[in-house]
Amino acid sequence: MRVLLHGATGRMGRAVIDKIAADENAVIVEKVSPDFEAESEDCHFTLDGCAKEADVVIDFSNHASTKTLIDYCVAHKLPVVVCTTGQTDEEKAYIKAASATVPVFYSGNMSLGIAVLQDIAKRAAAAFPDADIEIIEMHHNQKLDVPSGTALMLANAIKSVRTAAEFVIGRHEYGKRRKEEIGIHSIRMGNEVGTHQIIISSGTETITLKHEAETRALFADGAVVAAKFLKDQPAGFYDMQDALK
């Protein structure tokens, strides 16, 4: 598998480089980042510099590049694994629209454990339709998007079985918690890789579901699994649940 890596100088880009270096069935043919010190044969400041053939794009960059990235993938008929988070609704719609033309994999969390957690959270929320549900997420102090894409993914999974749910991000106003609220709370500290906790309380019993990412390498593992899955798919919109089937 020949990979074009978008966002190659970042924390996650470097983790993907390490992962693919140890994979005899994959190779990175082009790397893109505006933060390279200089351009070279396979390191480019922008996608326009890329000339080698690739089978798939892995993107761990910044949502500001959404349109440029998607336009490039559509123009070159390239499957794209979008791992970047923090997109606006408009940018998300742009990514989704591209899936009519090329295979698009989009997930706020590339972890297998989070995909399993989504299923368990849905089941618990359905079993306790009147329970209070709160989500707490914790990440390193350099993270830009609030709340995390994963917290929103988990909240949306719960909303799929609790359709009246309303997300309250960082509750601060005076007044009682409303029944339909799902509170989402973000903690930013140190080097925390990523912890997500879902607390479901009926008033007589409480379930606490918790996922802890121990190293960023797990997201690179997931991105490579996703890329290997995606490169052979027809145009469409995919996530980790599809790759696990």
Ligand X SMILES: NC(=O)c1ccc[n+]([C@@H]2O[C@H](COP(=O)([O-])OP(=O)(O)OC[C@H]3O[C@@H](n4cnc5c(N)ncnc54)[C@H](O)[C@@H]3O)[C@@H](O)[C@H]2O)c1
Residues near ligand X (CB under 6 A) are 7-13, 33-35, 60-62, 64-65, 83-86, 107-110, 145, 219
Q: How far is the CB of 179 from ligand X (least distance, A)?
A: 31
Q: How far is the CB of 63 from ligand X (least distance, A)?
A: 6
| Residue 63 and residue 88 in contact, taking contact as beta carbons nearer than 8 Å | yes
Answer yes or no: 139 catalytic.
yes
**Whose Cβ is closer to ligand X: residue 147's or residue 183's?**
147
Planar angle of CA 202, 208, 212, nearest 5 degrees: 160
List 76, 122, 143, 185, catalytic entry:
143
**Whose Cβ is closer to ligand X: residue 9's or residue 156's?**
9
Tally the residues of the chain: 245
Q: What is the distance between the alpha carbons of residues 185 and 137, in angstroms, rounded to a whole number?
A: 6
Q: How far is the CB of 87 from ligand X (least distance, A)?
A: 9
**Whose Cβ is closer to ligand X: residue 23's or residue 48's?**
48
E-strand spans in 125-177?
132-139, 166-169
- Burial of residue 68 (CB within 10 Å: 0-12, 13-18, 19+) is middle
Answer yes or no: 122 catalytic.
no
List 6, 31, 63, 139, catalytic entry:
139
Q: At what angle do helices 112-127 and 149-159 cross, to 10 degrees?
A: 40
Q: Which residues are catalytic?
A: 139, 143
